[in-house]
Amino acid sequence: MANCSKGNFLLGVLLGAAAGAAAAYFSDRHRREAFADNFSSSMERARDSIVEGYYEAKERYNRYRNKLTEEANDLLEEIESSDE
């Protein structure tokens, strides 16, 4: 039980130190604005990547669907011609 409370205490100290460091870092207006700008541009890049990935996947899906449809139609024509 003593080890558990020591671990909890150390975790609390670490979290408190991290929160204090973050508060000190963001208390400077220029750092806060730079962080916001960097974060915003990172989110825009991530959004653009997701959108690009979506359209790329959609294009692949359509390409494979069309290829499969053509092959199915060819197979049906072959079956129909062999019945005659």
Q: List, for residues 8-30, the tens digit of each pLDDT value.
A: 889 999 999 999 988 888 888 89
Give the residues of the chain that fall short of pLDDT 50: 1
Dihedrals phi, psi of 70, to nearest 5 degrees? -60, -45
Q: Which residues contact residue 31 at a Cβ distance below 8 angstroms, ignoring those fewer than 6 apart?
A: 25
- pLDDT of 25 reads 83
Provide CB contacts within 8 A for 35, sequence distance 6+. 26
